[in-house]
């Protein structure tokens, strides 16, 4: 992939610095607001916390979760609730996903990836399509992850690809092997589908 840049051994501070540069450039290029999509799980929050004390103008940034578990926002499994608690005090507008939502063009889509090759809540069993007519879907992973056995709501591949850049944070040898195999076209898991369709720059912090 000519547009893929893999940054090895990146720590939270290095990733946060890249995000500041990327979002600052997007804000400078816009007269109004920008939108970004970010993942849930444990990985992004220490990185995001570093950003809340910096110079980013969060009051001009709309933040969309890439996916969420279908639980109340005050539930410990809610991505949206955690993102709202962290970023709204910094000034961001956090937008909860709904099936009738119309996601915007994103300045940046930041994604994680599971060991099974899923992105957002597009698990292998959901057979995500590049030409999905819906931008948001309610889905049921199969098998349900035991640590979060809930239905999901997620941006689809077309919504995720409607962006200026894609970023991944991949940690662990097993996940890295799945990601690398996707870049070589060795499987058809969701991560391979989005990488194969991406026309924008893709950065992977590994």
Average per-residue pLDDT for the chain: 95
Q: How far apart are CA 15 and CA 66, in angstroms?
A: 18
Contacts of 104 (CB under 8 A, 6+ apart): 35, 62, 162
How much of the chain exceeds pLDDT 70, in percent?
A: 100
Tally of structural domains, the chain: 1
**Percentage of residues of the chain with pLDDT beyond 90:** 91
- Please determine, for residue 116, whether its predicted confidence score (pLDDT) is greater than 80: yes
What's the rounded mean pLDDT across residues 111-119?
A: 95
10 vs 109: CA distance, rounded Å = 18
Q: Give per-residue pLDDT as tens, 47-58.
A: 999 999 888 999
pLDDT of 156 > 70? The answer is yes
Q: Is the pLDDT of residue 34 over 70?
A: yes
CB contact at 8 A, 156 and 135:
yes
Query: Residue 49 has which token pair?
Result: 């916390």
CA angle 139–163–8, rounded 5-degree value: 90
Name the one residue in this structure whose structure tokens are 């950003």: 51
Q: Residue 1 above 80 pLDDT?
A: no
The residues that bridge with 65 in the sheet, in sequence order, are 38
Looking at the predicted structure, is the pLDDT value of residue 71 above 80? yes
Q: Produce one character per residue of 116-143: b if its CB has 16 or more CB atoms within 10 Å, e if not.
A: bbbbbbbbbebebeeebeebbbebebee
- Asked if 64 and 53 count as a contact pair (C-beta separation under 8 A), the reply is no
d(CA 141, CA 32): 37
Q: Residue range 5-25: average pLDDT?
A: 95
Range of lowest pLDDT (85-89, 146-150, 190-194, 201-205): 146-150
Cα angle vertex 82, ends 77, 88, to 5°? 155
Structure tokens at 201: 């720059």
Q: Are 48 and 41 in contact (CB under 8 A)?
A: no
d(CA 174, CA 172): 6
Mean per-residue pLDDT, 92-112: 97
pLDDT number for residue 2: 73
Indicate whether 146 pLDDT > 90.
no
Whole-structure pTM value:
0.95
CATH number of 180's domain: 3.40.50.1360
Q: Which domain holds residue 180?
A: 4-205
Q: Which pLDDT score, from 0 to 100, does residue 48 have?
A: 93
């Amino acid at each position: 992939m000519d547009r893929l840049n893999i940054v090895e051994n990146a720590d939270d501070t290095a990733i946060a610095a890249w995000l500041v540069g990327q979002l600052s450039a997007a804000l400078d290029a816009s007269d109004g607001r920008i939108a970004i999509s970010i993942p849930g799980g444990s990985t992004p929050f220490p990185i995001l916390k570093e950003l809340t004390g910096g110079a980013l103008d969060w009051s001009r940034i709309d933040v969309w979760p890439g996916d969420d578990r279908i639980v109340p926002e005050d539930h410990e499994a809610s991505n949206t609730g955690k993102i709202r608690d962290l970023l709204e005090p910094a000034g961001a507008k956090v937008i909860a996903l709904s099936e009738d939502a119309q996601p915007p063009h994103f300045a940046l889509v930041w994604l994680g990836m599971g060991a099974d090759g899923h992105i957002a809540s597009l698990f292998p069993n959901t057979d995500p399509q590049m030409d999905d007519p819906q931008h948001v879907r309610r889905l049921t992973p199969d098998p349900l992850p035991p640590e979060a056995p809930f239905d999901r709501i997620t941006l689809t591949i077309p919504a995720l690809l409607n962006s200026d850049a894609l970023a991944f944070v991949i940690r662990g040898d097993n996940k890295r092997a799945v990601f690398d195999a996707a870049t070589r076209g060795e499987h058809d898991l969701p991560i391979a589908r989005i990488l194969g369709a991406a026309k924008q720059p893709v950065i992977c912090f590994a």
